[in-house]
């Protein structure tokens, strides 16, 4: 589910966990989750429904995130099929972790 909290932060709820995308650790954890090459991570359009009852501005913001994430998981599925032919899941996960480490280092320097 996608929602916007009272501070305007985008909150994504997946598998009984919530990720505040304005919090670096949550953002990194969310990226690891949605980019995981593991077939155990099942993402689909239903994962990114928009919370009902949001005001118009928050609903519009949540909708933009939901649309992006839905498009992403559709592309992820296609790429997983192709990537499975090219490298192992462990190799892909190591690349993802290295990417997130680079993001974290950039954030610390800023």
Give per-residue pLDDT as tens, 40-92: 888 988 999 999 999 999 999 999 999 999 999 998 888 777 766 666 778 87
Beta bridge partners of 50: 2
Q: What is the mean pLDDT of residues 81-104?
A: 80
> Is residue 2 helix, strand or coil?
strand
**14 inside domain:** yes
Q: Is residue 78 part of a domain?
A: yes
**Separation CA 89–CA 20 (nearest Å):** 27
Specify if 34 maps to a domain: yes
Q: Residue written as tokens 């099929």?
A: 81
User: pTM surpassing 0.85?
Assistant: no
The sign one gets for the Cα dihedral 70, 2, 15, 87 is: positive
Mean pLDDT, all residues of the chain: 88
Q: Assess if residue 93 is contained within a domain.
A: yes
Count structural domains, the chain.
1
To 10 degrees, the CA torsion angle through 73, 78, 80, 83?
-140
Look up the domain containing 66 and give its range. 1-105
Q: Is residue 35 part of a domain?
A: yes
Whether residue 110 lies inside any domain: the answer is: no
């Amino acid at each position: 589910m996608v929602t916007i909290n009272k501070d305007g932060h985008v909150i994504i709820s997946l598998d009984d966990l919530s990720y505040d995308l304005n919090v670096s650790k949550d953002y990194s954890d969310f990226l690891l989750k949605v980019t995981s090459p593991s077939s155990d991570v099942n993402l689909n359009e239903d994962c990114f429904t928009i919370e009902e009852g949001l005001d118009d501005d928050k609903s519009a913001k949540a909708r933009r995130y939901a649309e992006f994430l839905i498009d992403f998981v559709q592309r992820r599925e296609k790429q997983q099929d192709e990537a499975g032919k090219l490298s192992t899941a462990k190799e892909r996960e190591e690349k993802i972790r290295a990417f997130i480490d680079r993001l974290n280092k950039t954030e610390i320097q800023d």
